[in-house]
Amino acid sequence: MIIPEAETLLSVQNLTAEVDGTPILQGVNLEVKRGEIHAIMGPNGSGKSTFSKVLAGHPDYKVTGGSITFKGQNLLEWEPEIRAREGLFLAFQYPLEIPGVTNSEFLRISCNAVRKHRGLPELDLLDFNDFITEKLQVVAMNPAFLQRSVNEGFSGGEKKRNEIVQMAVMEPELAILDETDSGLDIDALKIVAAGVNQLSNERNATIVITHYQRLLNYIVPDFVHVMEEGRIVLTGGKELALELEARGYDWLTEEV
């Protein structure tokens, strides 16, 4: 929702970034205020995931110019774990499998690292049990998944749900969901979207990266951006997604 006079959470200005010496982001501008939901669409390889990883602080991506301000502070000065504890969350397009680390242990360590940073008491095993039971319900995830290794052998859709469980645990202020909808069946899509909606409020914000207008029927964006060749080339309301669905991306290059 757009709230008048809302505080700016994220401000990206003229951001350029490269990986292995190849420039990918070529001047991204984006402003996200508390309460808002933004969608980023755009063709394969246009730089959407790169943008999300730069925000999260992936060491392989080198910022070569521009600035990122998060809650009024220079995000680029923070290590990835500090960004996470400060409230920036990235749901990965391809969540990793971590054999040998149980999901419950992973979630508890993560939860307590975040809580400690925010001045909240850490949760012991019992308290965490209650806490996580509630969080699993956000995406109707079976508690049996807690005892398995992180994402190991999970189906594509189960991995995406697990990302949202992590989001629920970390209670971010800005969540970036990179193609969380791909790999989900129709019912799962509704459940995950409802979960994301349940987690959003007027204090936080969400950026959803997607290829499909369908998701935006459930997570209704305030803004839709189109990324092409490392830039946001067009911004509109939710109707823009419908237009893109109907016409594809080619007309943009002709008009812009």
Partner 1 sequence: MTAEVERLLHAIRTEATERLTQLHFPTVREEDWRYTDLTPIKEIPWQQLETAEVVEALPLPEADYQLVLQNGVWQRERSVICQDGLCVLGSVAGVIPQCSSVLFAHLGQYTDDRDYLTQLNSQACHDLALIYTSSKWEEHKTIGLHYLHTGHHCVSHPRCLIVLSPHTKLTVVEIYTGSAVEYWANPVTEIYVGEQAQLQHIVWQQQGRSAFHTKTTRVRQAKHSFYQIQTIDLGARLSRHNLHIQPQGEATTTIVQGLVSIAGEQLADTHSTILHSHPQGRSNQLHKCILRERSHGVFNGRICVTKAGQLTDASQLSRNLLLSPHARIDTKPQLEIVADNVKCSHGATVSQLDREELFYLQSRGIDQTTATTILTAAFAAEIINSIPLASLRELLRHV
| Shortest Cβ 120–partner 1 spacing (Å) | 13
Rounded to whole angstroms, the Cα distance separating 150 from 99 reads 7
Nearer to ligand ATP among residue 46 and residue 104 (C-beta): 46
Question: Which region, judged by CB under 6 A, interacts with ligand ATP, from 37-45, 149-157, 160-168, 200-208?
Answer: 37-45
CA-based nearest residue to 251, from 66, 43, 61: 43
| Shortest Cβ 241–partner 1 spacing (Å) | 27
Note whether 142 binds ligand ATP by CB under 6 A. no
DSSP 145: G
Restricting to residues 32-91, name those near partner 1 by CB under 8 A: 56-60, 79-81, 83-85, 89-90
Rounded to whole angstroms, the Cα distance separating 38 from 186 reads 22
Q: Is 46 helix (H, G, I), strand (E, B) or coil?
A: coil
Rounded to whole angstroms, the Cα distance separating 145 from 58 reads 27
Q: Helix-strand-coil percent breakdown of the chain, rounded to 5?
A: 40, 30, 30
Note whether 49 binds Mg ion by CB under 5 A. yes
Cα 235 to Cα 16, 171, 214, 250, 251: the distances in Å are: 19, 28, 18, 16, 15
Note whether 21 binds ligand ATP by CB under 6 A. no
Site string for ligand ATP, 193-232 (x = CB under 6 A): ----------------------------------------
Whether 29 contacts 232, CB under 8 Å: yes
Sheet with 231-236, side-by-side order of all strands: 88-91, 174-178, 205-209, 37-41, 223-228, 231-236
Is residue 82 within a helix (H) or strand (E), and if so which, with residue range?
A: helix 80-86
Site string for Mg ion, 82-111 (x = CB under 5 A): -----------x------------------
Site string for ligand ATP, 73-112 (x = CB under 6 A): --------------------x-------------------
Rounded to whole angstroms, the Cα distance separating 116 from 66 reads 31
Note whether 156 binds ligand ATP by CB under 6 A. no
Residue 145's binding partner out of ligand ATP, Mg ion, partner 1, none, with CB under 5 to 8 Å set by partner kind: none
Length of the chain: 256
Under the rule (CB under 8 A), what is the footprint of partner 1? 56-60, 79-81, 83-85, 89-90, 92, 95-96, 98-101, 105-106, 109-110, 113-114, 117, 149, 166, 170
Under the rule (CB under 5 A), what is the footprint of Mg ion? 48-49, 93
